Structure 1
Amino acid sequence: MGAMHHSGSDKVDSASVIENRKRKTRKDNKNQRLGRADRSALGRWFWEIDRFQLFLISLLIAIGVIAVAAASPAISAQEGKPAFYYFTRQIFWCLIGIPVMIGVSMAPKDLARRACILGAAVCFFLLLLVPFLGVEVNGARRWLGFGMFKIQPSEFLKPFFVVTMAWMLSFRFKDKNLPVIPISMFFVAIIGVLLMKQPDFGQTVIFTGVWLVLLLLSGIPVFLMVGLGVAGALGVVAAYEFYSVAHTRIDAFLNGTGDHYHVDRAMATLTNGGFVGVGPGSGIEKFRLPEAHNDYIFSVIGEEFGLLACIIIALIYGTIVIRVFRRLLGEDNGFLLLASAGLATQFGLQALINMAVNVQLLPSKGMTLPFISYGGSSLVAMSIGFGLLLAFTRRNPYLARSTYLPKWQQK
């Protein structure tokens, strides 16, 4: 009987050990799925992606939704639409833009590069159609389509243009005798002419500025860079002399003459909230502000949430750009270096121009604030661009960190 009792006890102990092992195995499998050992596509993406950058962009998108909700009643009242007409549409575009950004960020780098070259060709063709088939809004012909279904080809062209130019100029790292600079200059000139015909001086500045940064990073001679700088200055003078829109806006900025109603109202709205703002929904000046939901949404944020909120937003943009360039310090792939730097420059330059216009440091440009301003084309195109940036800056967590450091730091 004692032997039988002992045998039963052993069976109970064995069953308990087996159950503990199963429980431990399930726990280990769960931890593995959540840890760096997860080799699924989603797991690799999660550990390779710059998660802090993704958090900052998510924060900007959330700020944008709140800001458009604050601006929507003002612009809707001016246009005779329901109070939250633009807010509900912004939610719709966010539901499209966020999955697009995540999907693009998962793409293999070579596939993303090839898709961008194809996308640049398609968007360039659409840009050629704008002067003939474009829809005119507020005196500018920049859109194709009708009603709610309008797209702005120049917005979608920007990220594809940056990656295509980066791919083209990256050949200079292998052979400096290849004529990639004049070829790229030819395409930039055509795009500039098409944009100035719309007219869209602000986008012309973005395309040209990003191209110059890419040239600088690709290692062109200093005298050539100086020559291009002089040519750019002459281009601004020519635009002032022969381009009526630029002439009017520069005069209004420098001399206070002409039509400067927009920028004056933007400054009045921005400063009305003081340091901490008048509170959500309590703004008054925004009802007299044109384009409160896109070009001048930074001023609406200033009125309702204060200059403190504006400073925080500016710091978020600066942090994103600086983090990208810091991440590129040890990048030895010429294409990835140029593409990532170009996309970060485009993102940061657009944000800088919008905020500078709102505080009257630059003449009015009609430039949206990335991920915050209302706009379907702007939000989705920016989502594509940042998705590409996240894809090109992915890092394998299994490689030593020193792999990505410059040689002078690998000690």
Structure 2
Amino acid sequence: MNAATLTGKIKAKAALVDPNRYGRSDRSAIGRWFWEIDRVLLLMVAMLIGIGLIAVAAASPAAAQRYSGGSVRFAELHYFYRQIGWIMLSMPVMILISMMPRERARRLSLIGAALFFGLLAIVPIVGPEVNGARRWIAFGVGQVQPSEFLKPFFVIAMAWLLSLGVGERKVPIFILSGVITGMVAVLLMLQPDFGSTIIFVTVWVAMLAIAGLDLRILGGLALAGIVGVILAYFFYPVATVRIDGFLFGEGDNFQVENAMRTLTAGGLFGMGPGGGTRKFGLPEPHTDYIFSVIGEEFGLIACIAIACLYLGIVARVLVKLLDEESSVALLAAAGLAVEFGLQAMINMAVNVQIAPSKGMTLPFISYGGSSMLALSIGMGLLLAFTRRNPYLTRSPYVVKWGGESVYP
């Protein structure tokens, strides 16, 4: 085959991906985003947000009765209306971030990681104390929880750092990532926030495994984690109280016990929207224990469906990454998926009384401004790093089209 014939075949195949043929009359950012985004993943996230609105509406009367004292207009649905406002703010943020090229998303994450790490460092100094913890920074119009925003940015920053050692197994890179994770863990435990500490460390170890760290070292880290929990039990009062309450029933277990009773009160199919009564006895029905409210009003079947939806999101991302060639994208997307799924799993485990209380929200379902905005940033980054042109893997031929590589 001569060069002219080969060139003709390449041009002919390149024509097959003409954007006009697939409804993309221009190469605008919105048009490319629509065709490259994982629309199934986006649909599942939208389903979670819709379920969350229904759940917050169900939990809002109980929360309003406890916290508003009836002094707020439309008090029964006070938190529902506020949640709508947070969603209207957060969803455009998620979409805008998901439209970013990977390189720009990486740079944004590195800046965000540095910023929120700095804020996390000053939380114990300037943060107001709420229920014995300092986790927030007040900014006049509201409060921000730096650890929530640091989670997605930390994952991308670790993905970039660990990618520098992929293939060559550069030990100093792994050690540096461990030092950074350890600093974050110490700052979190000063707040104290033992639950978030577990998430950061677990996600870091999972990313090390994906990056190809030696199994013997991973085994050592697992052993170190067990030793760390034991030491925390003896020398970290917060962990001592939580573990004693979970294992031996000591201390105040009202929250987790009442959550379990509430979750099972509705049976398989629930008591119907607005029919729940036990939710009025929950301390945080719209945030930490919203999963129990769902169980009471919509039944255990609905709870199982929600758990399957979270599992589907994580599985969708991991399967999509099987043929990913970029080490940064692979580590970033996998880390974000693990972090998202782990947070959901911990919240549900607390509600069904198989884990001690952590004070952790259920992603995209629990009420919360900082939580909703931070999760939207994380999901936007996940969508950005899983974007892929669906027509790029159909031929080994590569041509340049508009300054980009195209696989006709």
Q: CA deviation at 1:147?
A: 6.4
Matches within 5 A, 1:326-341: 326-341=319-334
Q: CA deviation at 1:118?
A: 0.6
User: Which stretches of structure 1, 4 residues or longer, exceed 6 Å deviation after superposition?
Assistant: none
Instruction: State the alpha-carbon separation in 1 of the partners of residues 247 and 185 from structure 2.
Output: 24
Q: CA deviation at 1:328?
A: 0.3
Instruction: State the alpha-carbon separation in 2 of the partners of residues 38 and 350 from structure 1.
Output: 40
Runs of at least 5 residues in structure 2 that lack an aligned partner in the other structure = 1-18, 397-408
- State which of 113, 116, 119 in structure 1 corresponds to 2:112: 119
Q: CA deviation at 1:401?
A: 5.4
Matches within 5 A, 1:12-31: none
Report SS of the residue matched to 2:358: coil
- State which of 38, 41, 56 in structure 2 corresponds to 1:68: 56
**1:379 equivalenced with 2:367 (yes/no):** no
Matches within 5 A, 1:8-407: 32=20, 35-36=23-24, 38-79=26-67, 80-81=69-70, 82-145=75-138, 149-177=142-170, 179-400=172-393
Q: CA deviation at 1:213?
A: 0.3
Q: Which residue is 2:15 aligned to?
A: none
Do the aligned partners of residues 261 and 147 (structure 1) sit closer, same or farther apart at CA in structure 2, a change above 3 Å counting? farther
TM-score (norm 1): 0.88
Question: For the Cα contact (< 8 Å) 1:249–1:259, is it kept in 2?
Answer: no
Q: Which moved more, 1:174-183 or 1:51-60?
A: 174-183
Q: Deviations over 1:305-341 (max 9, x none)?
A: 1111101100100000001000000111111100000
Q: Deviations over 1:286-317 (max 9, x none)?
A: 00001111100000000011111101100100
Question: For the Cα contact (< 8 Å) 1:135–1:146, is it kept in 2?
Answer: no
Instruction: State the alpha-carbon separation in 2 of the partners of residues 193 and 64 from structure 1.
Output: 32
Question: For the Cα contact (< 8 Å) 1:269–1:300, is it kept in 2?
Answer: yes
Instruction: State the alpha-carbon separation in 1 of the partners of residues 128 and 41 from structure 2.
Output: 36
Report SS of the residue matched to 1:39: coil
Instruction: State the alpha-carbon separation in 1 of the partners of residues 21 and 140 from structure 2.
Output: 46
Q: CA deviation at 1:148?
A: 5.2
Q: Which residue is 1:15 aligned to?
A: none
Q: Deviations over 1:114-172 (max 9, x none)?
A: 11001000000000110011022222110001565110000000000000000000011
Do the aligned partners of residues 319 and 402 (structure 1) sit closer, same or farther apart at CA in structure 2, a change above 3 Å counting? farther
Q: CA deviation at 1:357?
A: 0.7
Q: CA deviation at 1:35?
A: 2.1
Q: CA deviation at 1:76?
A: 1.1
Do the aligned partners of residues 223 and 402 (structure 1) sit closer, same or farther apart at CA in structure 2, a change above 3 Å counting? farther
Do the aligned partners of residues 206 and 143 (structure 1) sit closer, same or farther apart at CA in structure 2, a change above 3 Å counting? same
Q: Deviations over 1:91-122 (max 9, x none)?
A: 11101111000000000100000110010000
TM-score (norm 2): 0.89
Q: CA deviation at 1:398?
A: 2.1
Question: For the Cα contact (< 8 Å) 2:343–2:362, is it kept in 1?
Answer: yes
Question: For the Cα contact (< 8 Å) 2:169–2:213, is it kept in 1?
Answer: no
Runs of at least 5 residues in structure 1 that lack an aligned partner in the other structure = 1-30, 404-411
Report SS of the residue matched to 2:100: coil
Q: CA deviation at 1:43?
A: 1.1
Q: Which residue is 2:9 aligned to?
A: none
Alpha-carbon RMSD across the aligned residues, in angstroms, is: 1.5
Do the aligned partners of residues 299 and 35 (structure 1) sit closer, same or farther apart at CA in structure 2, a change above 3 Å counting? same
Q: Deviations over 1:182-235 (max 9, x none)?
A: 111111111111111111111001100000000001111111111111110011
Counterpart code for 2:154: F
Report SS of the residue matched to 2:138: strand
Q: Deviations over 1:250-284 (max 9, x none)?
A: 11111112111000110011001111110111110
Instruction: State the alpha-carbon separation in 2 of the partners of residues 315 and 147 from structure 1.
Output: 39
Report SS of the residue matched to 1:99: helix
Question: For the Cα contact (< 8 Å) 1:350–1:367, is it kept in 2?
Answer: yes
**Percent of pairs identical after alignment?**
59
Do the aligned partners of residues 111 and 311 (structure 1) sit closer, same or farther apart at CA in structure 2, a change above 3 Å counting? same
Instruction: State the alpha-carbon separation in 1 of the partners of residues 81 and 394 from structure 2.
Output: 44
Structure number with greater Rg is 1
Do the aligned partners of residues 99 and 33 (structure 1) sit closer, same or farther apart at CA in structure 2, a change above 3 Å counting? farther
Counterpart code for 1:348: G
Question: For the Cα contact (< 8 Å) 2:343–2:361, is it kept in 1?
Answer: yes
Instruction: State the alpha-carbon separation in 2 of the partners of residues 83 and 114 from structure 1.
Output: 43
